[in-house]
Amino acid sequence: MQKLIITGGHVVDPRNGIDGPADVAISAGKISEVGSVALSRAQRVIEAEGKYVLPGLVDCHVHTAGHPEAYRMLAQAGVTCALDLAGRPQTTIPEMLVHGCGLTVGFLFPLIPNETVDGTAPSDDQLRKVTRDAIGAGALGTKVLGGHYPLTPDATARAIRAAHDIGCWCAVHAGTTETGSDIEGLEELVTLAESHPLHIAHINSYCRGQVTGDPLLEASRAIRALGLVPQCRSESYLATINGTSAAMVDGIPKSNATKTCLRLGGYPGTSQGMEQAILDSWAQVNVADNGVIILASPQHGLKEFRARHTHVRVSFPVNSAAAAIGLATARKEDAFVVNALATDGGSIPRNVTLQKGFALVRFGALTMAELVSKACSVPAEMLGLDNKGHLGTGADADVCVVDPDTARADIVLAEGHVIADHRGARGGGARVLALDYAAPELERQRVPYACVAPSWLTDSD
Ligand SMILES: [Zn+2]
């Protein structure tokens, strides 16, 4: 049997209580042994002396749709499994199959007023039909993009309830027709969740000081709000830039979040305001470059914004680093208040969990084991994946070898295959993570898939 051994590294695998030097043996795509392994039995040896050997990252908030570069960017960032927080089966699955780089990826279907549902207050019947259709086609559930394209508070609550009744995932970006993408939106959302399980997206992004002028005060309000909904799961990210659509309708940003970002920088919420913000580098246009997505220079960005008739994504430096650190490290009774570390990245160039996470470890704000727990094992558990997020015997051989000096992934393996190294990312297609409702349709389309049944979605029944 083909055997690969990663030798001499410092293995961190909190789920199995390992934090020290060890070899990791891989056979038939699984972890076969961790400890002191005789190299004579190896067909291939990866030398990892001076490096950290971690489980592959499980990023439970990414975006890939329309930007297949995302998979390559994720693989290069050490991610082997991800949850896309706005994907449609007709486009996401084909892209995943061609560009997926060997990752395992679930996706959530977006509930967007006048696009995928009728108006801001779709009927219960429609919410349930759209949700069932989405999970039957391969989605793990639905996503409400409240901060960008809000539903009414009542419709938001009904979308959450519908997902729970059907037994699927629901993620919400806080904000409704009554509130914004801010701390008040989050405080409203925890009441709308009632007793239902809910994935509350990117907690740090509600703590930009938009309501009180004080990001840290808003972070402490967020921590209090999350304490009210122990049945929910949440994540935050560490990048200071966001990512939002620059698309204009009649010269006004279509997304509410985009309007707010322009206002925060002192620009009018108009097409002209956006152009000036791009020229001043307050808004940085995301452009493809050599198979990945980067932040364009002002002149190049403005050219793209005009050439694509405003249909580009922009990043604004609106996130508070202080709030991001506070939320990533906030603890209550030996547990983290915010469950997972994610990136809200993928195609948005901010897949920085390793770099910023290692910085927090060096700072003493997290231990390496805590970082691995928040970036690997906890999100794997959220997704109902017992075989990922750790390096126990029999687990999928998803491994990330990290250079502590650069805090970057040197080599990334997914199920025993190298999907990224110094030469870049590779690895063919992805596998879809779906609920068993989707099995007949995915079989019919011959889409590689794995079924999951995340227990926290049904535990609160
Ligand atoms: Zn997002």
Query: Residue 152 has which token pair?
Result: 């009414």
Cα 403 to averaged position of ligand 1 atoms, centre (Å): 28
d(Cα 64, Cα 67) in Å, to the nearest integer?
A: 5
Percent of the chain with pLDDT over 90: 95
Chain centroid offset of residue 404 CA: 23
Helix (H, G, I), strand (E, B) or coil at 372: helix
From the CA of 344, how far away is ligand 1's center (Å)? 5
Integer Cα distance of 204 and 222 in angstroms: 9
For residue 202, the CA-to-ligand 1 centroid distance in Å is 7
Q: Is residue 367's pLDDT more than 60?
A: yes
The answer, yes or no, to whether residue 461 has pLDDT greater than 70, is no
In a domain, 260, yes or no: no
Ligand 1 centroid to Cα of residue 85, in Å, is 6
Residues 8 and 151 in one domain: no
Based on the fold, state whether residues 148 and 211 are members of the same structural domain: yes
Q: How far is the CA of 346 from the centre of ligand 1 (A)?
A: 9
List residues, by chain if needed, whose CB lies under 5 Å from ion ligand 1: 85, 344
Distance between Cα 172 and ligand 1 center (Å): 10
Higher-scoring residue by pLDDT: 162, 42: 162
- Measured in angstroms, how far is the CA atom of residue 63 from the centroid of ligand 1? 6
pTM summary value: 0.95
Establish if 380 belongs to a structural domain.
no
CA 175–ligand 1 middle distance (angstroms): 13
Task: Tell me, yes or no, whether 231 and 364 share the same domain.
Answer: yes
What does the alpha-carbon distance between residue 344 and residue 204 come to, in Å, rounded to a whole number? 11
CA of 62 to the centre of ligand 1 (A): 6
* Residue 319 Cα to ligand 1 middle (Å): 14
For residue 17, what are the domain limits? 3-54+397-426
Q: How confident is the model at residue 427 (pLDDT cuts 50, 70, 90)?
A: confident
Count structural domains, the chain.
2
For the stretch 291-303, pLDDT in tens is 999 999 999 999 9
d(C-alpha 275, C-alpha 419), whole Å: 38
Report the sign of the C-alpha dihedral through residues 266, 272, 274, 280, in that order: negative
Ligand 1 centroid vs 414 CA: distance in angstroms?
24
Ligand 1 centroid–CA 59 distance in Å is 11
**pLDDT the model gives residue 110:** 98
412 and 440 together in one domain = no
292 domain-assigned: no
Q: What mean pLDDT do residues 105-125 have?
A: 98
Distance 385 CA to ligand 1 centre (A): 22
Residues 167 and 136 in one domain: yes
Per-residue pLDDT of 253-287, as tens digits, reads 999 889 999 999 999 999 999 999 999 999 999 99
Contacts 24+ apart (CB under 8 A), 261-269: 261/314, 261/316, 261/318, 264/208, 264/210, 264/316, 264/318, 265/316
Look at residue 406 and tell me if it is in a domain.
yes
- Cβ neighbours of residue 26 closer than 8 Å, sequence gap 6 or more: 3, 4, 5, 6, 32, 397, 399, 413, 416
pLDDT of residue 460: 59
Compute the average pLDDT of residues 229-241.
97
Same domain, 139 and 48: no
pLDDT for position 274 = 98
Do 335 and 449 fall into the same domain? yes
How close is the Cα of 158 to the center of ligand 1, in Å?
A: 21
Q: Are residues 108 and 234 in the same domain?
A: yes
CA 457 to CA 37: how far, in whole Å? Answer: 39
- Residue 281 located in a structural domain: no
At residue 39, the pLDDT reads 86
Residue-wise burial string across 81-113, b where 16 or more C-beta atoms lie within 10 A, e elsewhere: bbbbbbbbbeebbebbbebbbbbbbbbbbbbbb
What is the pLDDT at residue 1?
Answer: 54
Measured in Å, residue 7 CA sits from the centre of ligand 1 at: 37
Residue 385 has pLDDT above 60, yes or no: yes
pLDDT over threshold 80, residue 125:
yes
Cα 256 to ligand 1 centroid, rounded to whole Å:
14
Mean pLDDT for the stretch of residues 13-38: 96
Do 336 and 408 lie in a common domain? no
pLDDT in the model for residue 41: 78
The reply to whether 111 and 177 lie within a common domain is yes
Residue 2's pLDDT is what?
62
* Stretch 427-446: mean pLDDT: 95
67 falls within a domain: no
Q: How far is the CA of 56 from the centre of ligand 1 (A)?
A: 21
Position 326 pLDDT exceeds 70? yes
Give the pLDDT confidence score for residue 234 in this predicted structure.
Answer: 98
- Compute, in angstroms, the gap from residue 23 CA to the centroid of ligand 1: 36
Here the CATH number for the domain that contains residue 419 is 2.30.40.10
CB distance 89 to 116 below 8 Å: no
Ligand 1 centre to CA of 217 (Å) is 23
Distances (CA, A) of 92 to 132, 171, 320, 334: 17, 18, 31, 38
| DSSP per-residue codes, 215-244 | HHHHHHHHHHHHHT-TT-EEEE---S---E
Percent of the chain with pLDDT over 70: 99
**Residue 103 CA to ligand 1 centre (angstroms):** 19
Burial of 186 (0-12, 13-18, 19+ CB in 10 A): buried
Q: Mark whether 232 and 155 lie in a shared domain.
A: yes
Are 41 and 106 in the same domain? no
* Strand-strand pairing, 340-341 and 313-315: unpaired
